[in-house]
Structure 1
Amino acid sequence: MRRALPGKAFGLRLGGVDHLPSVAIVPFAPSMLFLKTVASLYIFRWTGRFNEMDAMMHSAMEMLKATEAAVVSRVSLRDVNRVIDERILPDTLVSLDNGRHVVAAACSLITFYFESAKRLTSEERLFAIRSAEPRLRRWDRTATAEMLKADWTVRDEFLTIDLRPFFERSIERLARLDAARELVISSADILGGTPIIGGTRIPVHDIAAAMAAGVPEDEILEDYPSLTRDKLALALLYAEANPLRGRPRPLLSGLPKGSRKLSEHRVPRRRAG
C-alpha cells in the first residue's frame, strides 16, 4: 500500500521501487536538494516503522535461544549459528535482538537441512525451507494440532519432499524441553540461585556433568532415590539447553555424606628436568 506525506499532492512521486511509499510534495517549485532531503527523511522513517513491526512480530512468536534451538533440532550449536550466519533460515524466522534466537517451529527446518544433506542438493533444501517458511512464521502453540494434520509436502517438478516427520519430531522435542523447564527451579534462597531439580537441592548441572562423565544411571539413582530415569534425561536436556558460563566447576569438592569410593588410581608426578 502506498501512502503520501502530509500536504497537497500534485502528482510527483519520489522513487520507483515498489516497496517504497509514495511521497507527495507541497505545491511550490522545490529544489533538487529539498527533494533529496525529504526523500531521505521519509525513507528513514519508513525503515524505522518496518523494524519496529518486525520486532513486534518476533515478540508474538515463541523464540528459542541458540542453545535451546540446538537441543530441539538435535544439532550442534555451531550448526545453529551457521544457519543464521549463512541465512539458510529466512530472516523472518530469526531474531538477533538481545542475542540469537530462532522461531521454535523453525527447528524442524534446521533438522531437515542437515539430515537431508546426503540426499538433496543445497538448492533443493533451500527451496523446501523457503516453501515452508510462510506456514512456520504463523505457528503458535494453539495451531499445532491443525498444523500436524496439514499437508507438508513440497513439490517442484520431479522433486517431492515431505517435511511432516521433521515438524513432528521438533514438536515432540520441544515438549521435552518444556518438561525440563518445569522440572528445574531457581531461587535466590536456595544455593544462591543455582538451578536445581524441583523438590530437591540437587544442582541440575551436577547431575548432567556426572552423566557426561560416564557415571552409571543406576549409581546416580541409588545415591538420589528421589530422582527417576526420566528426570535424569530431563536434567541432561536442560543442561544442554542452558550451559553454564565460564570454567566448569569440579563435580564434587569432596565426598558427600553417604557416598562411597569405588576405585582409586594414583598417577606418579613427573619431575621437571
Structure 2
Amino acid sequence: MAERTDLLRPPEAAFVSGIAVKAVDRAIDEHVLPEGFSVLDDGRRLTPGACVMIAFYYAAADTFTPGLRKHILTRFEERLRHVEFSQYSALSRQNWTLDEEYWSVDLAPFLARTACGYERLREAEAEVSRDAAVMRGAEVLRGTRVPVHDVAASVGAGEPIGRIRDAYPSLTDRQIELAVIYATAHPLRGRPRGTVLSAGIRPVERKRVPRKTAG
C-alpha cells in the first residue's frame, strides 16, 4: 500500500472510532480488516476507512454474527479504501446503505461519528506543541508551559475542573478538554498517572467589590 499521511496508530484510531485500544488491536489480530486497511511497518497504523469499519463491526456485535459483519465490510471495502475525512462533506451526500432480503445496513452514522472524532483529534493536536527549550521538551498546551499529560491525568483522577483551573489559571475549559483528547489518543508509556495537583491547592474565592460612585 502506498504511504499515506493520515494513518492512525491504535490509540488514535480507538479515539476516532469510539472504542477501546484493545478492540482495535483485536480487529487487526483477528483479521477483521481487509488487506490494505492496516500497516504493520514502523508500528501498527490504520487508515481512516479502517476506523469506520471497526466502529461498525463492534457496534453491530449484538445484531450480526462475526461472519456477516465481515461480509458487510467486504461489500463496502472499495468505497472505504480511499476515504479521507477531509472530504466528509462530499462523502456524507453519498448513499451508504446496503440492502439485502432480510436486513439493511446504513454506514452513514459510523462515517459521521468517525469523521467527527478525527476532527476533534486534529483540533487537540493543533493545541499542543513541543520545544526542547520548554519544560525539557515535554508536550505542552500551546502558548503555555503546562504539560498536556499533567492536565489530563488530573482530569482522569477526578479533579474538579475548577480546581484544575486554579492550579493552571492560564487555561480555559476548552484547553482542558482538548488536553484530555490529546492524552487519550497519545498516551504516555507505562501505568496511567494520578493527579499531579498539590494537596495544598484550594479553590480561590473571588469576591466582587462594588465600585464607589462620586457624589
What is the TM-score when the length of structure 1 is the normalising length? Answer: 0.69
- Does 1:213 find its partner at 2:157? yes
- Does 1:198 find its partner at 2:145? no
Deviation for aligned residue 1:89: 0.9
Give, in whole Å, the separation in 2 of the partners of 1:62 and 1:237: 18
Letter of the 2:201 partner, please give it.
S
Change (3 A) 1:168 1:250: closer
- Does 1:225 find its partner at 2:169? yes
Q: Which of 71, 79, 97 in structure 2 is aligned with 1:127? A: 71
2:181 counterpart residue number: 237
1:182 counterpart residue number: 126
Give, in whole Å, the separation in 1 of the partners of 2:38 and 2:189: 23
Deviation for aligned residue 1:81: 0.5
2:7 counterpart residue number: 63
Give, in whole Å, the separation in 2 of the partners of 1:143 and 1:180: 20
Deviation for aligned residue 1:152: 0.3
Deviation for aligned residue 1:158: 2.1
Give, in whole Å, the separation in 1 of the partners of 2:94 and 2:33: 22
2:84 counterpart residue number: 140
Look at both structures and tell me which one has the larger radius of gyration over its CA atoms: 1
- Does the CA-based 8 Å contact 2:157-2:194 persist in structure 1? no
Give, in whole Å, the separation in 1 of the partners of 2:101 and 2:170: 57
- Does the CA-based 8 Å contact 2:157-2:195 persist in structure 1? no
Q: Please show how residues 226-265 of structure 1 align to structure 2 within 5 Å.
A: 226-247=170-191, 251-252=195-196, 255=198, 259-260=201-202
Q: Please show how residues 101-112 of structure 1 align to structure 2 within 5 Å.
A: 101-112=45-56
Give, in whole Å, the separation in 2 of the partners of 1:242 and 1:174: 13
- Does the CA-based 8 Å contact 1:94-1:102 persist in structure 2? yes
Letter of the 1:118 partner, please give it.
D
Question: Larger relative contact order (C-alpha < 8 A, sep ≥ 6)?
Answer: 2
Give, in whole Å, the separation in 2 of the partners of 1:170 and 1:142: 12
Q: Please show how residues 85-104 of structure 1 align to structure 2 within 5 Å.
A: 85-104=29-48
Secondary structure of the corresponding residue to residue 105 of structure 2? strand
Give, in whole Å, the separation in 2 of the partners of 1:248 and 1:120: 35
Give, in whole Å, the separation in 1 of the partners of 2:156 and 2:60: 28
2:206 counterpart residue number: none
- Does the CA-based 8 Å contact 2:85-2:115 persist in structure 1? no
Letter of the 1:135 partner, please give it.
R
Give the fraction of aligned pairs with identical amino acids, expressed as a percent: 37
Q: In the comparison of the two structures, how many residue pairs are matched? A: 204
Give, in whole Å, the separation in 1 of the partners of 2:192 and 2:16: 23
Deviation for aligned residue 1:201: 0.6
Give, in whole Å, the separation in 2 of the partners of 1:155 and 1:124: 13
Secondary structure of the corresponding residue to residue 246 of structure 1? coil
Could you tell me which runs of 5 or more consecutive residues in structure 1 were left unpaired when the two chains were aligned. Answer: 1-53, 262-273
Give, in whole Å, the separation in 1 of the partners of 2:47 and 2:39: 8
Secondary structure of the corresponding residue to residue 8 of structure 2? strand
Deviation for aligned residue 1:106: 2.0
